[in-house]
A and B are shown apart, each in its own frame.
Chain A
Amino acid sequence: KQEVTQIPAALSVPEGENLVLNCSFTDSAIYNLQWFRQDPGKGLTSLLLIQSSQREQTSGRLNASLDKSSGRSTLYIAASQPGDSATYLCAVRGRAASGGSYIPTFGRGTSLIVHP
């Protein structure tokens, strides 16, 4: 059974810092890995998705890397801003028991606060 761990569970930093959020998974036979943002009381917004054949994806100040062999992904946030305050969730997709389908396993998330 796939297990996904996110470290740290919570992070509080001053504005402007560069951040690294970590996601590790136990089964390296993944299809893809996705990073989400969740604002309090809201649904999940997709940030970046990395296919198993890729090493990294970038979107603006965000960069996600994937090292499948070591079972790790990192989300790098450059020049953090108070608006980045949210919970960041990592989801790893493997093959579902029913076959031919990909159901994600979620980590518990990293709660980020960026203070002015």
Chain B
Amino acid sequence: DADVTQTPRNRITKTGKRIMLECSQTKGHDRMYWYRQDPGLGLRLIYYSFDVKDINKGEISDGYSVSRQAQAKFSLSLESAIPNQTALYFCATSDKRDSKNIQYFGAGTRLSVL
């Protein structure tokens, strides 16, 4: 089983729909992150959370919201999906005890908004 699991792996939705992408981890890490990747671009940070009660906006948080339901779960929501949110979304985790802050990534969710 993967340490960082994202569901669904693929999703097609229509403009205006609310959707949720889920991430769960078995690594026992306290820090979790959501990124999006567009073709030819690097990863851009959407939101991050350093523990259950800590939520921080990243570089491109507009149009997104998150929920840290438990240490192991971090969900990303698109309140009203629009076509330019079509992208590959990655969840990542890291351990606050790791001085190098190495991140571990899920396999990604490919989202298409029509």
Interface residues of A (CB under 8 A from B): 4, 9, 31-32, 34, 41-46, 49, 51, 89, 91, 93, 96, 98, 101-109
> Secondary structure of the B side of the interface?
strand
Q: Is the CB of A43 within 8 A of B107?
A: yes
Q: List 11 A-B contacts (CB under 8 A).
A: A9-B40, A41-B108, A41-B110, A43-B108, A44-B43, A49-B100, A89-B43, A93-B101, A98-B56, A101-B50, A103-B58
A50 nearest CB across to chain B (Å): 10
B6 nearest CB across to chain A (Å): 8
**The 7 residue pairs across chains A and B that have the minimum distance between CB atoms:** A106-B42, A43-B105, A106-B43, A44-B105, A108-B42, A43-B107, A102-B101
Known: A41-B108, A41-B110, A44-B90. 13 other contacts (CB 8 A): A31-B101, A43-B4, A43-B105, A45-B105, A96-B56, A98-B50, A101-B101, A103-B58, A104-B103, A105-B42, A106-B42, A108-B41, A108-B42
